[in-house]
């Protein structure tokens, strides 16, 4: 009869063996620990101060631009996007004055005379021929442009719902034939104030 004898194991040795069988976590390399600590650090006081300073400068610029836009809107209350007729008047008038040539602004033409509400000018066409253009601002809220060639009216253009325009002579050194164009809204506030100059013709 064979009897098998097993060695007795105490409870303490089993616990030690169990602990030793558990795999130890791998050690983190030194450079990895250094990189992880660097990524988790916060901002320095100097970085916070610089960031707040830049933000304050940016906010100041925005406030100044907003103030200037509000002041410009108050001085010139015409919204050119909502009043395209005003933009059309200024564009056509600028082109006529830019293309003006001798004698530039005749004192009279047919029944029209130069005044603050009537502008008569002699302007070149794209074809190379000249025509007489009469801008009539005498009717409130209406601007009429009439072009004449050889005594006959060749075109007429009318803009409605615009401020009250007026024109005046505005001599500038080396540009004595400049024209100042102004317009006031229904409240009497200045809505348009621009100066146009004839361009030199070769």
The pLDDT score that the predictor gives to residue 69 is 75
Q: How confident is the model over 160-187, as a mean pLDDT?
A: 86
Report the pLDDT value the prediction gives residue 125, as an integer from 0 to 100.
84
C-alpha angle 161-164-166 in degrees, rounded to nearest 5? 140
pLDDT at residue 118 tops 90: yes
R_g over Cα of the chain: 42
The pLDDT score that the predictor gives to residue 3 is: 55
- Tell me which of 138 and 31 has the higher pLDDT: 138
78-115 pLDDT, tens digit each: 555 457 888 899 999 999 999 998 888 999 999 999 99
Q: What is the pLDDT of residues 22-31, one digit of tens each?
A: 555 555 555 5
Geometric angle at alpha carbon 184, from 87 and 94, rounded to 5°: 35
| Residue 16 pLDDT | 47
Sign, Cα dihedral of 46, 48, 52, 55? positive
CB 190 within 8 A of CB 184: yes
- The whole-number average pLDDT for the span 126-130 is 83
Whole-model pTM?
0.59
* Average pLDDT along the chain: 80
Closest CA to 142 of 111, 119, 165: 165
- Phi/psi at 151 (5° precision): 85, -5
pLDDT at 24: 53
């Amino acid at each position: 009869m064979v009897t098998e004898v097993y060695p007795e194991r105490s409870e303490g040795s089993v616990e030690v063996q169990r602990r030793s069988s558990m795999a130890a976590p791998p050690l983190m390399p030194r450079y990895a620990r250094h990189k992880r600590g660097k990524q988790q650090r916060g901002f320095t006081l100097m970085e916070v101060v610089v960031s707040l300073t830049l933000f304050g400068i940016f906010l100041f610029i925005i406030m100044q631009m907003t103030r200037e836009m509000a002041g410009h809107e108050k001085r010139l209350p015409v919204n050119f996007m909502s009043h395209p007729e005003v933009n059309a008047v200024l564009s056509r008038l600028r082109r006529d004055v830019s293309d003006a040539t001798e004698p530039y602004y005749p004192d009279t033409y047919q029944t029209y005379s130069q005044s603050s509400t009537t502008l008569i000018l002699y302007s070149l066409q794209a074809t190379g021929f000249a025509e007489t253009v009469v801008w009539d601002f005498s009717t409130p809220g209406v601007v009429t442009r009439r072009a004449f060639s050889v005594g006959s009216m060749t075109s007429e253009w009318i803009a409605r719902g615009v401020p009250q325009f007026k024109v005046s002579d505005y001599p500038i050194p080396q540009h004595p034939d400049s024209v100042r164009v102004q317009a006031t809204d229904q409240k009497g506030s200045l809505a348009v104030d621009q100066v146009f100059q004839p361009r030199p013709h070769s």
